[in-house]
Structure 1
Amino acid sequence: MERIIDIATDGRHLSAHRGFLVVSEDRAEVGRIPLDDVAAVIIHAHGVTWTTNLVVALAERGALLVLCGANHAPVAVCLPLDGHHGQNARMRAQWDAGKPLAKQLWREIVVAKIRWQAAVLEAQGIESGAFAMLARRVRSGDPDNIEAQAARRYWPLLMGEEFRRDRSAEGVNALLNYGYTVLRSLVARSVVAAGLHPSIGIHHANRGNAFALADDLIEPFRPLVDLVTVKLAAKGCSEVSSDAKRAYAGLIALDLPGEDGTTTVTMAATYLSQSLARSFETGKASNLAPPRPPSAIELAGLGAVVT
């Protein structure tokens, strides 16, 4: 299992030494991890320093360095420029993709997200029949904003009538921020590894967002974070604790149903990014392969993640 390394203690120093990521404090080593095992390094703490050699070593392995703000949301990411042998051709196809294709691709992503939301609700014993109807109503480009309509139903059902999604809030919202950060780094890595550029989105297009495509592709995976958050809250967890971080980090190895049998969240993200690259190259949205929503029984595996 590739590992997500979270640095949450102030004053740590990160370096690379003989194939290891070495964590030190006051020049004394406090831990080391093989660089080949690292998927992403997420830094939350203040006063953390690192060497250029480490950043280069991570980039050479396709691993990300993610810097987060006080709300646990990423504010900057360092990623490799040379992520795939066919990168130039794929980026050109990505850049040249027309709006009709982008709209068709966004429809597929929104439909997948709504189906995932339904699966999460079912896993919690909540009726989700309306979500199947909403998924069928999504048109190319989602001009009716069915995604937002589904969200207005979804959050009260999952979190309670009083819940409001607020990225700047503490408590459950901070937990969601952290979980999304973990998956965002995973998806951004898979995008780069597939030879695509993360800033060229198919729906998200904010000029200040260097990871628009990662934010597009993360959408079907978000309900996984939502379900973990509900389970953490049920256990009395209301802050981004070490237990919460371990639960979210464990998501990347969670088993999911795939086209060729069981796969992991990591492989599902990789397959999604690769299928998107094929869609750009062929001009066919039908090549896109979003992760299949698991059944309520399959989602029961999240219990082990949260324990």
Structure 2
Amino acid sequence: MTQEEVLKGGNVNHVVRMANTVRRPIGYWSPSVHELLKHLEKQGFEGAPRFLGIDDSGREILTFISGEVAGNDYPELEPYMWSDETLVGLARLLRHFHDNTIAFTPNTEYKWQLSYADDAEHEVICHNDAALYNVVFQKGEPVALIDFDMAGPGPRMWDIAYTLYTSIPLGDFAPDFSSGKMEVVPYQREKHAVERRRRIHLFFESYGVPVPNNLIEWIIERLIVLCETMKNFAVNGNQAFQKMIDEGQLARYENEIRFVKDHFEDWIEIQY
């Protein structure tokens, strides 16, 4: 019998590797995600795992994509994962993913864990957790997104907002290289604001759309929904989300909302 190896991450689900496959628990959202992954395969999009079926234990079977994954090490990442090259590659990967979902027409009976509230704004399928901890790197380059459980329809900016927040990053910490090695330090306007402005513009330039005037509204709304999702799942008995709340993640994101509101003007002052 092939041995199971527990993979990094898996805050919400127990994820294991068996040979060249990944096994994950399924839920009410799984049929939608499976159809999405099959669509991406037909489109020739290589930046996502393939859906292979359901195993005897009732788990979904996905292809294993070899490479480096940060998982729960975030934000203590390898220096290259915070590089401009990675940011550019991630923006292009996200754009490629979004473009390949435009032709995907979800069945009206499909259920998703998270979808944008306004149906009129459903222009693509969003990954909804396209952060550096859900990226596979090969030879230092981002090549694939993983963990599509939270995927659902929405506008491009909905996905971009969270990717920006986690990959610029826009939280109360900053990756710092001044000591000659990568360290995670508290955000300081004097040291980090200019870099954040530059990287925001670099991301949008690489994705291929202009920086929206209401960017802060997108980011704040996305973080608010993240907090609401965490609370709603916990109230409905999801132990994984309750554990996240107990560990302080809800309080952290609520603090992050205040932080972004207080500091966002630091990052948009430069005129281009």
Pair in the same fold by TM > 0.5: no
Please report the TM-score for the alignment, with normalisation by the length of structure 1. Answer: 0.22
Please report the TM-score for the alignment, with normalisation by the length of structure 2. Answer: 0.24
Which has the larger share of helix?
1
